[in-house]
């Protein structure tokens, strides 16, 4: 049986794995799926109606993947459409007072730091780190293993493997630290740095294979917001 604190409120239509832990005063609304190993800390609120004026009611879902931790007072809303749930991947850390809005898609092993806000329909790739008190505009796409600096205002898409910062956020560098921590080789970093510098200079990519191919695929995918600009400060490895 799930371990649910007596002060928590869990709706009977929530679908909760047997080993989920739900802390004091947390609220789990109907149409929420919590996978095995999920932990929900005090005062978190999961699966409330989307804050979208077009939402007309009905059954829509929030899904949280296995071993994800949702810390104190975080708020995550369910989707506006039954076709695709708001989704948080596996082994994520959603820190305290984070707000993740309707229809957002968060990949695996993502860290979203204190008081960050994701607007509706945001997509975050796996292994991404989002710094504290960051604001992310609706429909923004963030590629995998990206790094978002704290206090950033992200209004356009963020390339995979890259770091952005500022208000508005601009591409500042390759996410070398994140790549090294993820086990990427020196040669991987060299290849990605060359691709990054080509894009920064205004040139197009000259390779569509391997890691550079992932950059090319991201650039070719549909985008509502366009790609964040490149900051012209020289990159420091």
202 part of the active site: no
58/186 Cα distance (integer angstroms)? 50
What is the gyration radius of the CA atoms in the chain, in angstroms? 18
**Residue 102 catalytic?**
yes
Token pair listed for 73: 């007072």
C-alpha span between 165 and 182 (Å, rounded): 21
Nearest to 127 by CA among 147, 149, 109, 148: 109
Q: Is residue 120 among the annotated active site residues?
A: yes
- Rounded to a whole number of angstroms, the distance between the first and last alpha carbons of the chain is 49
Catalytic residue among 43, 65, 99, 103: 103
68 to 30, 89, 133, 223: CA distances (angstroms): 19, 7, 20, 28
Of how many residues is the chain composed? Answer: 237
Sheet containing strand 147-148, edge to edge, reads: 3-4, 21-22, 39-40, 69-70, 93-94, 111-112, 129-130, 147-148, 162-166, 169-174
Catalytic entry in 89, 120, 132, 143? 120
Q: Identify the active-site residue in 43, 102, 137, 156.
A: 102
Specify which residues 111 forms β-bridges with: 93, 129
CB 23 within 8 A of CB 41: yes
Orientation of helix 210-220 relative to helix 186-201, angle to 10°: 40
Query: Which residues participate in catalysis according to the annotation?
Result: 102-103, 120
């Amino acid at each position: 049986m799930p371990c649910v604190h007596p002060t928590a409120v869990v709706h009977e239509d929530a679908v909760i794995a047997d080993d989920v832990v739900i802390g004091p005063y947390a609220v789990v609304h109907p149409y929420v799926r919590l996978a095995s190993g999920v932990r929900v800390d005090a005062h978190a609120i999961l699966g409330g109606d989307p804050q979208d004026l077009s939402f007309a009611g009905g059954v829509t879902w929030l899904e949280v993947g296995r071993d994800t931790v949702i810390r104190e007072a975080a708020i995550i809303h369910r989707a506006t459409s039954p076709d695709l749930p708001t989704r948080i991947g596996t082994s994520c850390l959603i820190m305290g007072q984070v707000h993740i809005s309707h229809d957002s898609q968060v990949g695996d092993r993502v860290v979203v730091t204190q008081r960050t806000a994701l607007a509706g329909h945001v997509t975050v790739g796996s292994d991404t780190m989002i710094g504290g008190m960051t604001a992310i505009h609706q429909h923004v796409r963030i590629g995998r293993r990206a790094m978002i600096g704290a206090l950033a205002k992200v209004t356009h898409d963020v390339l995979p493997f890259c770091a952005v910062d500022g208000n508005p956020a601009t591409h500042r560098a390759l996410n070398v630290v994140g790549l090294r921590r993820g086990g990427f080789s020196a040669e991987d970093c060299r290849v990605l740095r060359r691709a990054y510098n080509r894009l920064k200079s205004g040139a197009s990519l000259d390779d569509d294979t391997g890691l550079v191919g992932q950059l090319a695929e991201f650039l070719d995918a549909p985008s509502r917001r366009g790609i964040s600009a490149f900051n012209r400060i020289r990159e420091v490895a």
